[in-house]
A and B are shown apart, each in its own frame.
Chain A
Amino acid sequence: MGRSFGIPEFLYLLKAIPWTLLLSLGAFLGGALVGLFIAILRIVPSRPVRWLAVGYIELFQGTPVLMQLFVVYYGIAVLYNLHVDAWSAVLIAFSLYSGAFLVEIWRGSIQAIPRPQWEAAACLSLSFPKQLWHVILPQAARISIPPTVGFAVQLIKSTSIASIIGFVELTRAGQLMTNATFQPMIIYPIVAGLYFVLCWPLSLAAQTLERRIDANLGIKKHL
């Protein structure tokens, strides 16, 4: 008989968690940069540039992240005759992917600020950047926190897809341990449980924050 699942195997799974978290964090920060860049493209006066930004968002929201990962991983390799290691490929692909989602979340938050807030700021003869910086963004930032945290949960779960190109994070570690022990019935539920431990607190935080912000703004929820 081969190995069976015991403490060392469990520790092996635990050791893979930092990679999942690191990848999620890296992709989130990368995505924030990409999102900021796309957001700027969306508001420049040139129409073709704005279309480019919308096209980017539609493309990355309308195709599977796995495909995006393959295109980056294999695409760069053949196009530039350059070997990309799995870590860079997943980091690039997940940044591009999360950028497309974050920019839309943040745009929605800015648009959720009632029009009179802009008008009031304009009445105080604030310039456009000052209206945005001192009046709109502080309010929009608060609205954007729950959906942004919610997206972080989605991102952590999505990084499991990096296992498909061989990047060793939590899911890949689970696969490797399954191959060694032939006990998928024990290992995959444990892997799922570990993801749950990572994601659930964030999900709860997002819910609580959302409720608190709704209460503060006095917004009655109606969809």
Chain B
Amino acid sequence: MNYAFRFNVVWDHFPELMNGALLTIELSATAMAMGLGLAVLCAYGKSAGPRPVRWLLAGYVELIRNTPFLVQIFIFYFSLPMIGIRLTANSAALAAMTINLGAYASEILRAGIEAVPRGQVEAARALGLRRLQIFRSIIIFPALKAVYPALTSQFILVMLSSSVVSTISAVELTAVTNSLQSTTFRSFEFYFVAMGLYFAMSLGFRASLSVIYWAAFERSR
């Protein structure tokens, strides 16, 4: 091994890397919020919707969970323009991430919802709570709390899989790293540092998500 490491090249371009990381964080955080919202909607549709809606939702979940994220991105970015839906790279990435996460998160939520004891729902109904009220405070809130660890893992996975959106020229961390290494020829150094940044981001997201857990579920006690 006679390779001279030149990490100073990486430090010279560090601001650019940070810009890429910022877009990664932005995309991931937005996709997490929107994906969770989508998952809750799906969960509501599945528990209260008519049968065709339930089938449609089940089809959506199975379709997304059994196809690669990369192909989903290609469909959003390359296929949709053919039927007149033109998205910028960033919004295609965001849409793909949201819809992908929505499917996984709704499947995770389903497990939490199934764990809510029937008696609680019946008690709430006996107390005269409306359907939406029951769904919000008796079903979704405890279900979210119960499956929070699994959701956290899924959130992190979405952040990590966002590296794949570099293929549609969304300039997040991976795309920035790719272009920098190709102009400087210090590929190992750049990928090594980028990997470190991703690792730091997944630790950061994990920490922020546990703060959110605390704020949402523990503080009120």
Residues on A close to B: CB < 8 A?
Answer: 58-59, 62-68, 70-71, 74-75, 77-81, 153, 157-158, 160-161, 163-164, 171, 174-175, 178, 183-185, 188-189, 191-192, 195-196, 199-200, 203, 221-223
Contacts and interface: CB of A to CB of B under 8 A. Distances in A.
Interface string B1-45: 111000000000000000000000000000000000000000000
B188 A71 contact: yes
A216 B2 CA distance: 58
B164 A161 contact: yes
B34 to A, nearest CB: 21
A203 B202 CA distance: 27
A185 to B, nearest CB: 4
B198 interface: yes
A64 B164 contact: yes
A160 B161 contact: no
A112 to B, nearest CB: 16
Nearest to B205: A62
Given A67-B191, A221-B114, A196 B66 contact: yes
A196 B79 contact: no
Given A71-B195, A222-B115, 7 more contacts: A66-B163, A157-B66, A157-B69, A164-B70, A188-B78, A196-B63, A221-B111
A149 to B, nearest CB: 13
A78 B187 contact: yes
18 contacts: A62-B202, A62-B203, A63-B202, A64-B174, A65-B160, A67-B191, A74-B181, A81-B3, A160-B68, A171-B74, A185-B80, A188-B79, A189-B75, A192-B67, A192-B72, A200-B62, A203-B66, A223-B146
A223 B62 contact: no
B194 interface: yes
Contacts of B66: 153, 157, 195-196, 199-200, 203
B198 A191 contact: no
Nearest to A72: B191
B82 interface: yes
Interface residues of B, number: 49
B195 A74 contact: no
A161 B160 CA distance: 13
* Interface hub of B2, B79, B166, B202 (most chain A Cβ within 10 A): B79
B215 interface: no
Nearest to B203: A62
A47 B42 CA distance: 46
Given A66-B163, A71-B188, A192-B67, A184 B74 contact: yes
B212 interface: no
Contacts of B150: 223
B1 A79 contact: yes
Contacts of B80: 185
Contacts of B83: 185
Contact of B195 (A67, A77, A78, A163): A67
B78 A63 contact: no
